[in-house]
Amino acid sequence: MHLNIDDTFTTELKSDPEIQNSRRQVLDACYSFVQPRKPSNPALLHVSEDTANLIGFKNEDLASPEFLSIFSGNSIYPNTKPFAMNYGGHQFGTWAGQLGDGRAINLFEVLHENQRWALQLKGAGETPYSRNADGLAVLRSSIREHLCSEAMYYLGVPTTRSLSLIKTGDLVLRDVLYNGNPAYEQGAVVCRVAPTFIRFGNFEILAARNDLKNLTALADYTIKHFFPTLEVGTKNGYLQFLKTVVESTFEMILHWQRVGFVHGVMNTDNMSIIGCTIDYGPYGWMDNYDPNWTPNTTDSSHKRYRFGNQPNIALWNLNQLANAIFPLINDIEPIVKILEAARDLFPSQYLKMMQSKIGLSNESIDDSKLLSNLEKLLSDSNMDMTLFYRNLSTISKNQIIFR
């Protein structure tokens, strides 16, 4: 098994000098080196061949003992050093301080056909950022993430991908109903794949600590590798970086609204800097059309992350990112213009998306009232969103429907 390893995050950004895997505040660093936990009896349950092809695997690699060993966390790919990222975040609107990769361990980066891919294990054990958790994942949630990542991709939604799902052979204690009755479940590890796993929170933690040196290094690294058409190290470059992130984030949100997807936990540490869906926790797709629906039981009272509020939360989160990189720009007016332009543009983008969704080809006509009435009808009638649009697609434009 041979991969074209091209690690940049760990070679260009500052590491945590402490090598002990103990829970702690990690200062003056973008990541910490850490070893995955070795599973007792790993078994490969599924591999996404399409994702494997992106990375450069051959078909025979996927059934090899080496593949199972590396992507279960049992062994390390030669000449690579796994690590956990340091980031913070706003959780439910409140600054939570340092969060970090508490149960995710980044393995390495691969360069294949001029595309960079970062590979990350979820559920492979504790890291310095695990806080009071064990860093593990159960089979139940791992299946959900593995399937949803690939489903979202084929629905045309920007997303992380999932390479493999591996059962560890170990038991993990979880309180499924949060009622004080924990029970043991089967453990599992998912290998997630994306160009990068950098989040808004990576910038926030450095800004919160006034670590301008590492903040600048992270911004320049991100622009260099993932926004290569932009200037590196200039005010204009940082502004264009923010503008691009704003645009790609709202494009992702449009896709969420298009398919009725609700992320469930849009904290800033769960927002990808490249505008792809990341961290499939309490997600869901709407059944009956309800703008107030959320799959997150911990959000059931305030419904901050409800379906209809996702565009507003995206803007709120982008404001936090803008605050984080403000020291690199030091000029509030152009930042405000970028955020306000996105806020003002989103309704027209949403209108175009909805026009396309119901088959209205003339985008120059303002169908906002029609679409608003449609959404109200769906909500009032408790209509299944997906079934409605699927059935609508069976109606020919030549048909005339009388009431």
Q: Where are the alpha helices (DSSP H) in 73-121?
A: none
Q: Is the pLDDT of residue 393 over 90?
A: no
Catalytic pick among 101, 269, 279, 290: 269
Interval 261-283: pLDDT, tens:
999 999 999 999 999 999 999 99
Q: Is the pLDDT of residue 403 over 60?
A: no
Q: What residues are paired with 194 via a beta bridge?
A: 118
Of the candidates 303, 280, 277, which has an alpha carbon nearest to the alpha carbon of residue 290? 303
Two structure tokens written together for 238: 């940082």
Interval 286-310: pLDDT, tens:
999 999 999 999 999 999 999 999 9
What distances in angstroms separate CA 110 from CA 68, 107, 278, one per listed residue?
A: 18, 10, 19
The answer to whether 279 is a known catalytic residue is no
Q: Is the pLDDT of residue 402 over 70?
A: no
d(CA 125, CA 136): 5
Of the candidates 203, 207, 209, 206, which has an alpha carbon nearest to the alpha carbon of residue 222? 203
Query: Position 203: which residue type?
Result: F
What average pLDDT is seen over the chain? Answer: 96
Place of tokens 């980044």: 106
Interval 203-246: pLDDT, tens:
999 999 999 999 999 999 999 999 999 999 999 999 999 999 99
Q: How confident is the model at residue 326, as a pLDDT?
A: 98
Two structure tokens written together for 179: 């009622």
Interval 118-128: pLDDT, tens:
999 999 999 99
d(CA 57, CA 69): 15
Interval 175-200: pLDDT, tens:
887 788 899 999 999 999 999 999 99
Q: How confident is the model at residue 401, as a pLDDT?
A: 58
Q: How confident is the model at residue 400, as a pLDDT?
A: 59
Torsions phi, psi of 45, nearest 5? -100, -40
Beta-strand pair 261-262/31-33: unpaired
- Our measurement of the distance from residue 206's CA atom to the centroid of its chain's CA atoms, rounded to an integer in Å, reads 20
The length of the chain is: 403
DSSP assigned state of 65: H
> For residue 19, what pLDDT band results from cuts at 50, 70 and 90?
very high
Q: Is the pLDDT of residue 362 over 80?
A: no
d(CA 295, CA 282): 6
